[in-house]
Amino acid sequence: MAEQAAEHIGADALLTRVGALFHDVGKANNPNFFIENQAPGSLNTHDDIAPKKSAAIIIRHVTDGVQLARKFRLPKRIEDFILEHHGQLITRYQYNKALELASKKNSEVNINEFRYPGPNPRSRETALLMLADGVEARTRAQRPHNEEDLRTMIRGVIELAQKSGQWTIPN
């Protein structure tokens, strides 16, 4: 998906493809904590642990990925995909859950504990991967039923990235 789009906007399609292949490699250290590795019906490991802790485990796939990339001497450019594909976005599911819990206990939540370390995408290729990754995840969750829904959903992902300051559009 990212590769195709890269081609259409004249970005480096091969780099995007390779970056996309490696971007989640850090998940290999904790595979059971990622929903795509959970068998249907089996329990979601995050249901049992505190949102803060579960966010930390999820966010770790970025830093674990970079460690793996260094260990196996992947090019620096591939590391960028690993680090930047979530930019400084928030793990929203866990953050919302934490807010819910906090409102019951009247305590406060530090949003920065739910934030990926970033940096935000610094190239068109890594920005593309962020969008493709976000769109793919949302497609699985929402299962859009027609092209209209699909388009609205994609716009939503782009908007979210823009609003949270992942980049601005040059004039």
Partner 1 sequence: MDNTQLTLRDLNTITDSFVTTLHGAYHPRINYPEMGQENPPIKMINIEIKSSVKQTIIPDMLEQAARATLILKYTSTDASLTVVLSNDSHLQELNRKYRGIDTPTDVLSFQRLKPILKLVRPT
Least distance (Å) between residue 129 CB and partner 1: 11
CB 3, CB 24: distance < 8 Å? no
Could you give the C-alpha distances from 153 to 1, 10, 72, 136, 159, in angstroms and in order? 15, 24, 36, 10, 10
Binding pattern for the stretch 79-108 against partner 1, x by CB under 8 A and - elsewhere: ------------------------------
**Does residue 39 bind partner 1 (CB under 8 A)?**
no
- Judged by beta carbon, residue 1 or residue 101, the one nearer partner 1 is 1
Q: Cα separations (Å) of 37 from 41, 42, 85, 138, 163?
A: 12, 10, 20, 16, 30
Q: Which parts of 2-116 fold into alpha helices (H)? A: 2-9, 13-22, 51-71, 76-84, 92-105
Query: Which residue stretch of 52-60, 66-74, 104-112, 132-140 sits at the interface with partner 1 (rule: CB under 8 A)?
Result: 132-140
Contact pick of 53, 70, 92, 155 for partner 1 (by CB under 8 A): 155
Using the contact rule CB under 8 A, the part of the chain among 18-26, 92-100, 108-116, 117-125 near partner 1 is 117-125
In terms of Cα–Cα distance, which of 75, 97, 85 is closest to 130?
85
44 belongs to the binding site for partner 1 (CB under 8 A) = no
135 binds partner 1 (CB under 8 A): yes
Min dist CB 120 to partner 1, Å, is 6
